[in-house]
Structure formats: C-alpha cells, structure tokens
Structure 1
Amino acid sequence: MLREHRRNNSSYSQMYITDESELSPGVPHPSLSIPLHMNDNHPRLFHSLHQKTNSVLCLAADEHHIYSGSQGDDVLVWDKSTFTLKTTLKGHTASVLALEYAPDRKWLFSASGDSTVRVWSTETFALLYVLIPHFETDAGDLFSIAWCAALNTVYFGCQNTSLQWYTFPPQSTAASSTRGNSTPIPADAFDSALRDAALSSSGTSTPRRAHKFFDSYPQYTRRPADLNARNSVRDSTPPSPPHGIPTPPGDDACFVRETSQQPLSTLVVPPTDVIWSAHYGYVYCMALSPSYREGSDDAPLSSGEQYRLVTGSGDATVKLWTLENGMPTFQHTFDCGQGAVLALAVRGDTAFAGCQDGHVKVCDLETRTLVRTIIVIENVDVLALSMLHSDLYTCSANGQIQRYSATFDLTATWKAHDGIVLSSLITRLEAHQHPLLSSSHDQPENGEGRIVLITGANDDYINLWDVELPHTKTDTAADISELGLDVPSNSDTLVYALSKFISIPSVSGCVSRKEDCRQAAIWLRKCLNQLGANSCMLSTGDSTNPLVLATFRGSQSQSQPERKVPRLLFYGHYDVIPAEGAGWSSDPFSLYALNGYLYGRGITDNKGPIMAVACAAAELLRKRALDLDLVMLIEGEEEAGSGGFSDAVKKHKHLIGPIDAILVSNSTWISEDTPCITYGLRGVVHCKVEISSKGPDLHSGVDGGAAAEPMMDMVKLLGTLISKNQQVAIPGFYDNVRPLTEEERQLYTVLSGVTQTPASVLSAKWREPALTVHSVEVSGPKNSTVIPATVKARVSLRIVPDQDLEEITNSLKQYLESEFTKMQSPNSLDVEICNTADWWLGNLDDPCFKALETAIREEWNIEPLRIREGGSIPSVPYLEKEFECHALHLPLGQSTDQAHLPNERMSLQNLQRGKAVMERFLLNLAKGI
C-alpha cells in the first residue's frame, strides 16, 4: 500500500501554481468563486515566526503560548508575549502531525508518525503520558486528534483507517488511575519491553517482519511489501538509540525512542476502544460538534443533546458519529466526490470539509445532506480550515488563504506563504501582551486583546494575521450566537423571538440567500426546542431547503403514553419573497415597531403566525393545560414552489405520526376590523410557453417581412386562449365547475357590504376559474430593430371545485400544441408545466371548524366572517389527502398588511390576539375530538 503524505513538501509543492503570475495571459483564474475585481481588504500580517528548516505541520495555542508541530519530530513552544522560542518538546521519533490543546486539563496532545500520542503539561512542559494505539505501530501515522472535555476522552485517527480513543479519569481522580483494562504501564516497564523488543531483532530470534504500510511499494508495481522498501518521507538520519539498547538489524528506526523525558506512565488503548476500518482510507482529520475552540460561537449543548464527532478521510468521505458515553456510534456518511478530505471545521450543525480537489464541501449534520460546494481554487488542495464565528478561512496548497462569509461570499483572498499552507488556527492575543495590536482596530466583544489567524506552511514560517470578528449585519443575520431565545425579563417572548426570526433573510427564490434559508431552519428548530417542543430538521433534497418538524406533546400523552390524544398538524413556511427595491420605510429584515404595527418581510407571510402558534403551545405547556399534541411542519420552499416537500413528507411520515386535523395560517382578513376564517382556495397551473426559430436574432430592416417571426406566432397563440366574451377557450374548461349555491350567494352579499366590493367581483376572485398571461420575454438586445429568435411567455390557470387538476393541465398543453399546429409555422413550440396546486375547500360542518370558529368568537367577541381566497397553497390539499383529514385556515393579518409588498406589516394586537385564539382553539380541540 502506497503511503500518502500531505506533508511531503519537496514533491508536493511542485504540483501546484504557487503564484497567480504564473498563469498564462488570457487564462481564467482556476477558482470560479473569486470575483473579477477583488479588493485588497485582507488581514494584515502582524508577525512571523521562523521554524528553521522544518515545515509547520500543525498548530495549537493556549493563553500564553503557540505550539507548532514540526516535520523534524519536535513540538516548538513560542511565547505569545515576546514571539520568541521558549522551549522545544522532544520525544517523538517522527513528524508531529496533529496538536490539540485541552484547556480544562492544561494539557497539550501531540500525535505523530511514530504511532504515539504524547500528553504534555502546558504549565511545566513535562511529558505526562505516552498513549500507545491498540496494535501499537500497526496503527501507522496518527494524522488527527480531538479532545472532548465533557467526556474526558481523546480521539485520534490512524493511517490503518481505524478510529481510536482513550478515556482519562475525571480530574478529581488520581492521575495514575484509568478505566477498564487500560492499565497504565510504568515507564521502567515500558523501557524494558522496548529493550526486549529491540534485542529480539538482533539476529538470534525471529527477524523483523515487513510492515504493511511503511515497507510497501506503490500498488501499480504489484510487488509485495519487503524489508528493503523504505517509502518514508523523512530525509533526516534517524537518531541513535539510547545508550544500552543495540541498534536493530536493518537500521530500523521503529525501535528508536527518545529518552530525554520520561512519562509518568504509558497508556495503551484497549481493544474495546477501537473502530476498525472506520473509513476506507487514512483518517486525516476530525472535529467535534459543537466546537469550543477559540473563535467558535457555538452554543452550549441543551438538555438531551450529545456531542458528535466528524471525521474526514482519504476515501473522499466525511463520517458523522454520535458520542454517547464517549463511544463513537456511526450515523451517516457524506460522499464528497473525488479527492481526499484533508481538513475539517465545524460550526453548530454545519461541517466544512476541505478536499484534495480544491473544493470545500458544506455538510448539514442535522439533515445529513451536502448543502453546498465552495470552489476555492480548482485542483489545488485545501489543507487547513479555521472558523471565526461565521467566517471561514481556507488555506490552500498554493500558499493562498481565502475568507468566506456566513453566506459563502468570498470576502478576502491573499498570498499568505511562499509554500504549502499546512495548518491554521484562530487564537487571541491579550491586550496587555500587545497594546499596539489591540488598538489597531475595534476591540473584540469582551474588550480583551485581539483575535489572530495563525498559519503554518512548508516554507518554515508561522504567520500571524490580524483578523476581525465578522459583521453579522452586513454578511447575514444568521449568527447563531445572537439568535438564541434568552428572552430579557422585560420583553414579550413572542415579539422577541419574532424579531430574531425576521432578521434572517430567508429568501427561497434567491440563490445567494440559500444559506440564510438553512440558517433560518436551524434557528427555528432551536427556538421551538427552547419553547418546549421536540424538534428536528428533515432534508427535502440537496438543492432545496429543509423542513422543520417540531412536536409539542400534551400533558396527557406525556403522562399516559398509551392513551390516544388528538393530534393537530400546523403547516407553515419560514421562507419569504425578496424585499429589494424602493418602497420600504425601514430595513425589511429588522423588526420595526411603529404606531401599533410591526414591520418586516415575512411578518404576515408567514413568520408571525408561526411564532404565534408556537408561543400559544408553549404557554399552555407551561400551564400544564396542553391536552393534545401539536405537530408543527414548517417548510422553506413555499414561495418557490414547495420543491421536495411532498417526497419528504412521505419519507418521514412515520416521524410526523397520525394526524386528526390540519391548521394553516397564511393569509389575511378581507377588512381591517372583522376576524375571518378562510374555507376555500383556488388551485393553480403554471406554464411556460416558448416559440423559437432555432436560428439567430435578425434585423427587421434586413429580414422583416421575409422571416417567420416567433413573436407573431406567440401573439396569435396567446390570443387563442381567451374567447370574445372573455372566457377561457380551452374545450371543456368549465364543464365541472361547481355551480353557485343560494347559501353562497347570500354569503357574498353579506361580504360585499363589509368590503364595499360587488358580490360578483368577490365571486370572480374566489370561486371562478381564470387565465392570466404573466410575462413575455424575448432573446436579443430588446431594441426596436431586432426580430427575436426566441420568445417565452408565462401563463397560469386558476382552477376551482370540481375541476380536475391533472385533466386541466393536460388540456392546456394539448390546446396550445393543437392551435400552434394549425398555424403551420416553421418555428418550434415547447410547452412546459412548471408547477401545479390543487384547489381546496374546507368542511364547514367539521367539529374542528366549529372549534376554531368558537375560539375566534370568544376572543374577539364577534362572529367571524367565512371567506375564500383566490390564491393557492399547494401543501394544503396535499396534506389533506396524505393524512386523510380535514384542513382549517386561520388568517391573522388585516387586509392592509402588504404581504409580498414593501412595508409588510402586522398589527401587534392581531399578533397577540392571534396567539390567544390559538390557545383557545387548542383547548377546544382537546375537548371536542
């Protein structure tokens, strides 16, 4: 098996372009993520440390020191105050590949190519322990290491593809004690065992066996491993063995051990603490979730949550493990495609994987999907990653560093080293240590010192970069540390939570806001959990936003699990439409209160109703008055067509459970003062029509009159859709439309008096079908002399009871194709059905409807109006069919709330009384079903 080593700097660095000037003229930059005009707004180099003739393979830091692992077997200790070399930790006999600082123990872990982990005191720099993997040197190089203070456990990844760990006794226990069969081996006994092993190879006993990793040839040579195969990257001469231990035959460095420091004890990983073949490649990197490294803004674990371990490997995968009682349990594999995973960083429920092909894969640990690929520099390995709150720093093999914001926008790129950047670290320099540095920029949040990015490379330099905390308002509002629900004592929970929810620009129809949508789902899941629900996120696909599923369990179902209680499903959506453009009097993504109204994008549609329902359930739960189960299913694609929603619901239906009724709150009243209940929605068929000549755009002065113009065809085709009496001309379109009843006629008469709108207009908008031509687009420069080669139009049909959705969809497509054929045009037609939604009509006699109507009447002291809507909500009829129960629709906003328009708002009174209506409804429903 051929040894793979990312630290082989002599040949490795020749594989990559190390300076942009080496690119040939006219050749585009290899990174698709770098803008054409990049500014120079990158961190300044504050200081450099020179690690003479030794590549910097890994880094760690504590309050007073910077630690660097060298290719020359040592750990160098640098003083943070003076930036001078303070001491060198010797003992390893091969390159130091990984370092990890344990602040709770004041320990430094170092993992090496000599198949050992060493534990050093950061106060005395004494060697405390030597930790030997199970099967000792057969573990090969130890590439990665992670310490979990809460579990007192260190984890490390091995060249032999195993994942191993060792649990230390709690700090209150004597340092020499261990658990299980991990009995410490005294130092003198270890020396004796080592001496015996060396003597056994002196020629009088069994000769040395070939090592399956270290003594192997490349696979393509098809030669077996043997004693003469030396594929190590280390060029230095192995140190001489300690006095009294003979040199083994073949000058085998595996038996050489540095004796400058003796450990308190030597520990051996027990066989129970090993996962063999954790990957199908070397375990290059690992990280804990949540991460509590310097620079992290991860929140503490809440009750019931547990630590997770993320590992990356040469097999191009990232694996997720839960750490119940310290033991890793496999959960999921993320396939990152081609190229090894060489670096990992974690923020909250997101893992970033730096890959050999120059990509960073963004893994959602909650939904277990690959949500994004960041193209750093094509085919230039990403070898180190660091997080500073929401900012991601990527370090590449060409010496460059890139900084990405929370929305994955590239905000800085610079040449950091003259060699391969192998390691990086975020740490803090205290103000009293470096007063000039601390005054150079705005102070960090706590006013103490400055935060720096430290990078190490194979140019033998450690560079310190003066970095700043990200400005969350300019990058994204989705800073998890600032979106918790730690409600001030003088603040209303509903309004406070809503202010956080509104601040996340979760625009599902905008590609640049995709990460904001995911962060909105993450925040909502945590918020609902804090309000008392059991919540999780469900994937709807790699290209669509996740669902948030939360269940508020009633007191009866908690105390008597065997008893059947009513189960209400509330459906909503956390995504919003764009808010760009003129017309806003305030920041659309900052909750603004004025004259009794709350302003912000999504306040009415649909974030306000979501929080009102959640807070109503939380209030009843607090009072131990919630006697049913409220299941909240919140999607993030409603404004973009609900992509992946139905498939995700079918897949996870067992998690949702049985449902007795469905509630939606996604519209407004028809007036300012009278509450309403919506009992009907029209369906919709969205269609794209394209006519093309299959040739280039033409000039009307040259070809006008001779060319068969696609625009002419489009105008004639669209004109056939409507008859002379303004009726839809599709044959049979009106055949199944449900006739108007006398009861409905009387209802429209009443509503006409309330709204001052003719009853015929209300009927046309709510219960009659319609056709709309939304837009016509042309190819070419769109000036007055061009004959466009391609013309596209968007058309929609609104359908009503009892029209058949599938039948109407097919009729529209067939009609357009038939009419175009009659034109005998040389142009071509393409008709695409983009998305559809069925009509919905509620059951006014259903007990759930009566319970909702009663709740409104009791809260507002007025009879609610029964209304219908002309719009469509695709998920409502689908959920009715899927769960075989009736749906209800409760509008909370007023007619002037400006949903989908500038200055979207909701009355504070409507929001609070809407929450009260929900509390009453939940109580009524628990009694009535």
Structure 2
Amino acid sequence: MTAARALSPSTDQSRKAFNHSINTFGSVQALVIDDDVLFAGLQGGLIAVYSLETYDLVSTVHAHEESVLGLTLSDDHRFLFSGGADSTVKIWSTQSLEHLWSIHSYFEVGDVFCMAYSARYRTVLFGAQNGSISWYQIEDKGRVPLSRATSSTRQHRFFDSRGPGGAPHPLQQLNGSAHSHLPNTHSLTIPSTSYKQYAHKSYVYSMILAKGLFQYDQEEEVMITSGGDGSIKLWRIDALESGNLQCIFHFKNKGASVLCLTCSGSFLYAGLADGTAHIYNLASCQLIQRLNVGLGEVSQVQVQPGTILYGTSHGWIKQFNSQFLEVDCWKAHQGKLLAMSIKAPPKTCFITGGNDNKILFWDASQQHRQPLLGSEWTNDDILDALRQFVSYRTVSANPRFTTDCHEAVAYLRKLCSSFGATTALLSPGEHISPILVAKFLASTQSNDTKTILFYGHYDVVDAEFGAALDSAIWNSDPFSLHPQDGFLYGRGVTDDKGPILAAIFAVADLVKQKKLSCNVTFLLEGDEEAGSRGFRSTVLAHRKEIEPVDYVLLSNSYWLDDHIPCLTFGMRGVVHANITVTSNRPDLHSGMEGKAIQHEPLKDLTVLLAALIGDTGTKIKIADFYESVDSISEEEKCAYQALTAALLPGHPEIKRPQEFAQSLIQKWRYPNLTIHRVEVPEAKTAVTISGYAKATLSIRIVPSQTAEDVADKLTKFLNTTFGSLGSSNSLNVAITSKADPWLGQIRSELYKKLKQAIAEVWTLSTALNGRTFPSYESSTPVIVDQSTGARASHRRTSSLASHGTFTIENTPHEPLFIREGGSIPAISFLEREFGAPAAMFPMGQASDNAHLDNERIRVENLYNGREVLSRVFAEL
C-alpha cells in the first residue's frame, strides 16, 4: 500500500469555471441538499435556503445564537437537523422551516460539530467539542421535563464567572438579555444516561451512519465517528435506549486529527489534518489506500460513482478516480473550504462553501457532457449556449468586430438547423451583418395553423473591461458569462441574446416532443444597435421567403420593477435630428468682430431651440403638433390607477400614488422633446465666435402620430423660423433616424395566451414543490459584495426606487400591462407590412442594466421565459 502521488497544481489547473456563485451573509460552515433546495448553515447562526434551479435566496431563519456548524437530513427528508456553537441541536421541518424542537445536553459540551439521525431508532446523535457523544430519542420527548435554561444561557464556571469585585461583565448581561426572549416550549434536555463522555479524547469532528456491515441484519445501523485524537470509531447503537453506546472497532492514526468522513458501500473515506486521505474497507476493517492530497488540511470529502472529491483548508479541491489516481485539481475558494455537498444524478453537481462568504456550484460531470445531444434539452444546455453566444463581441457599430458578428450568426444558424429549422441568411448590404431567417414548421399542419414571426437582434452595444480602463466599472469580462447570486452577467444577456435563446429552445423542445402547434419563423438581425441599416428594404425584398405571418412577437423590453412580470403593449416612436447653423466666415474674435446686429451661428441656433420648446421648455411649439394626440380617457385613467395600486404593496417608496400614475402617463402616452447636446468647434480662446453650431435632439411621439409627419413638421418649423431671422448664416436640418410608435391589441389571441402562460409559470416557480418557507426575515443583513460592487444598480425603464418587497400573499397573480417610453423601430414596421398584430413579452427586470455596465438577466426569468414561450407555441 503506497500513497498516491499528488499533482502540483499549475496555473491552468487552478482555474476552473463554476456553474454559479452565491455571496452569503457570512462564512459557510455547513451545506446539505434536499431535492430542489440547498440549506446553508452560516456564521452568526443563520440558515439560508437557496433554489437549486434558479440559485435564488428562498428563505432565511435565525437558527442559533452563534454559528451553525453542522447540518444533516433525515433519510425521509422530513427533518433538518442543525448544530451550533451555542451547544444546541435544533430540528426543523424541511417543508416549512418550522422550528420543531431544540435539544440541549445536561452537560456543558461546547460546540456541536456533527450530527446523525437514525430513522430506525428515531434517535438523533451528536458529537461535541468536549469529546462526548449525546443522543435523544425523538418519539419519547414527552417523558423528559422541558429545560428551564438552555445550555447557551447557563452560567459556565469559568467563562461566565464574575469579574473583579464580583460584578458581571457588561457583555455577560447583554448576552443574557439576548437569549431571554427565546421560546422554550419546544426545548428538550438530554438525560444524563444518554451521554457518552470521552467518546474521543478530543473534538468529535464527524459522524455518519452506515448500513450493511452485519450479515445477520443488513439494515442494522453502525455509527462511525472521527475526532481530533486521530481515531475513527465504529459504534453499535441498537442498545441506546438502555444507555449503552458500544465501540466495536477502532482505527488509529498517529497524531493527525480526522476531520471528515463519508461512506460508500463498504468503503469509508476519511480526510486528515496532515493533508492525507485514508480509504478503509469496513468489511475487512483494514486501511486499503492512503492518498497524499496536500494543499492544507483535508477538511471535506464527497464520493460519487467513479469519483472522490476532497476539499482542503487552503480552498483547493482535488478529484480522484476509482483507481485512486488524481484527475483534477483547482482552487475553489480564496479562504478555507469549510463545507461540501453533492447532488446525485441525473443532474450531478457538487457545491462548496468557504470563509470567503461564497457558495460555489460545480458540474461534477462537466468533462463528460455532450451538449444538445440528450433526449431533452435542459436548462444547463441553454446556459451553455448563452455562454457561447455572449462570447461573440457582436458590436455592429464597430467594423473591428465584423468577424464576431458573422461567427455569431453562423452559430445561431447551426443551432437552429440542429433543432430542425430551415434557415437562410439575408444580406442587408455591404459591411452590414446578415439577417437570419429560421423557420420551424408546426408538428401538424392544417388550414388553421398560425405562424408567429419572432423578431430579435444578436448585435450589442460595446463594453470595455480591464484594469487599465479608469472609467470601466464592469466587475467581470462583459463577453464572458458570469453567473452570480441568481443572475447571469454579460453584454447582451438581456438585450437580446438571452431572450432569443429562450425562444429558440422553447421551439426546440416542442419540435422534439411533436407538440409545436404553430409555425415559428425567427427573424434575427445583427444591426439593430447601429440603426437597422438596410433592414426594411431587405425584409421587403425577401417578403415571400418570410411569409406567411399571423402574429409578430418580440422579447426586447423590461418589467416596471424587479418583481412583477409584465406585458408591454405600447411604445413611443422617435424622430432623431441634427440641426446645424453654419457661417460663411471663419471663426472670429468677439472683441474685434462682435456686433449686436450680427447673426452668430450659436446665437441663431439658440433662438431656434428656444422657439421649439417655448419659455418654460416643457411644451413643443410646432404648429398643430398636439392636434392628433388623443386626450386620456376615464377608462385609461382607471387603468393607470389600477397599475399603481398593484405596485403599492411592494413599493413603500411610492408616497403619492396619483403623482406616480401621472409620471407614467407623461412617459408613456405623451410626446416629449429632448435636446441631447449642443456642439461648437473647439475654441482656441474663450472669446471666439464659432463658425458653426450643431444641436442633436429627439422627439418621442405617441401612437396617434407618425414619424414621417412629425419629421416634416419639425423641418418646416425650423426652416420657417430661421427664415424669419434674416440671418446671413445657413441652416441644415438632417433627420438621422425615425421610428413610428406602436400600440398593441391586448385582446388579441397572442396576448391572451401570453397572459395565461405567464400567470401559470410564475405561480409554479414560487411554489417550490409544495414547500411553504417563510419570507426573508426583516433582520437579515443585506449583501454588498466587494468583488462585484455596490448593491445599487442602474435602471433603464423603472421609476421605482427599490426592487420590491412583495410577498406571496400580496403579489399580483397576473402580469401587469404596461407601455414604454422608448422605441423599437422594427415592431411597428413589421406589424404594418405584414398586417399582423404584434405583442411584446419582456423577460428582463427593470434593473437588468441593458446598454449599461454589468448587464444581467435573472436565471429564473430566463428559464421562466423559455417555459412561457413553450406554452404559447404549444397552444396558439
């Protein structure tokens, strides 16, 4: 028997991509997986519950007065057991996180490091700091008097002794008052007969139960413990009721504490403080392998078929195969690795926690994965696809990234083709990224089969990242997907790469299942962020290749807040213009050449801008501009009031509901003129009369107006006003871009299906398979991750100051119908040209930071968006 050689970690080995990262409220001391949720025991006494699907924080409870040091589950997953530095063991319902019982030792045991629960004997056992093992039979809890004082409030003979003069220290008084409010109606005291003193000669670090070691009874359980004394002991627990805990075998390790244990079949795996790991055959009671893990103390061990995973106190993970050969090694945590748990197939992953206040999710089977080749496409597949899609720097406004744009559309085309679509690339013109048309046919064709045209864009606004960039505030590479705290960070994840993939995978699921009820045509352009050059003419030229179209669907906008799903049914249009006044003379000196009657370019431009917006600057003075703007009806006012009322329960910052409703009305259904900037040539001195002046402005218009008419009126107004000045200068009005407004038909069949699907999907996503966890406790601290910046974030569309504090009880059960003040040129064009009603389904939250630093999309929104579209495509 020889020690396996340890590989020296290289730079490449130390870098391994995690599936997700969660920032916690303190050091992660314990982790345990229960089906769809993760329980985490934290420094400070908190138990936090996270969704394994979306990585969201689901619930928290202050479980112990000091740190939670251990967690374990009952075999039937009904009970969660927690042990703490307050010398108590507590039992919780895994379905509701209800506190069932607190168990205290009659003796002063110190910290509780480990626990095990025997379902056969309905007994919880735990090992403690003083080397003892205690046990309690839950079904007999009524026979023992309730404790009048928990062990954490009892006076310790040394630590709680009075100071000089016989007076208690102020901290002792504070500690006593902190515990005085704790309820003791479920508090149980272990009888002195259920206590094994000196079970180990040092701390009892680990405790597990094993079956199948006795041939006469394969279900008989044996308890295995390890301690700071370097020993591993096997105990019979069938006579606990009589107070008999019998050690039946003893493995000795000279000098090195045994910090962790796990068992698989008849093999026992142990991690030691000297950096080694031992494997024992329990059937023959012999040590069969010693591994040199190194890189600190071996504090954690987990086993799955063919793989052994060890975690060390220096934050490293080493992976060995079934022949005990090292196959992988990487740095997982910046501090100590304190906890590890593993989830069994089909979705194998393992989870680690450390004193760097992070929980990391790893794919244990990643090296064996073959994406998109399985019987069905999972959420992991869409994340893999998004990771690849985001890596293309598809900045359409910069010719440097033309190759990335072409590679991205080739990737999309290949993906759609692999899912069964017929595809074609349309060229809008030279040096413009191509438009992808991908057609998926309904599983069953008939005369009533409808066709949905899904529009999206794969190009993005540029983003910079790097230590040399003083102005860059991206916290991670924008073109490398970064999963953290239930969100996915990266340029384009919410605008519009994430929603595009959600729609493609929704269709792919239905094609494989033969449940696609409608034809779905994807129309994905690569130049939206650069003005959609050539898009209209290309669509019109290839109209026959795109038709038929019964509905137009987009997913390229955002919720009103971060909590309530929305459906967008209206957007303002826009007219962008540059106004330039030019002199036929060069720059002049104002002292030498300036005259009161002289028309200077900047003065002329100032007069024009003032004429446009009037004395107050709040009203557009173009003749007949407001003539076609509809007055708001009483029905509309009621709708805005109802929308505000739905937001109030979760947004206490809305102090004046009427004013908030009015602000939405002003943003969504009334026009507005904005002067973005005024430019003059760089003056050599402060007394220069510039030879020209230029203003850039935009006018947001509403559905009763048209961009063409407003552009004509703007041009006419400026030319007429300038003509009345009698200026020797020249005026140029350039309409740089325009888009018509859009107002959707909320009673269309597509909106009805979207509304129904959103209500169903988001209700299911909050159900947690029947669990009824409490909401976060009000005293739960707020996480501000130092590595990713402050908690506050930019918002693109929201007027709300907070993300929302809704509960299940006061959250609206249907999506909010909203409008948006921004513009998307394609939506009104496609609706008009194909004569098909359009609908907008936003997946992003208000705080997604589209076009800004640290753009993100919530994992739950991406998954739910996929499910919503899957239901719509299956039923329309």
Q: TM-score, normalised by structure 1?
A: 0.46
Q: TM-score, normalised by structure 2?
A: 0.48
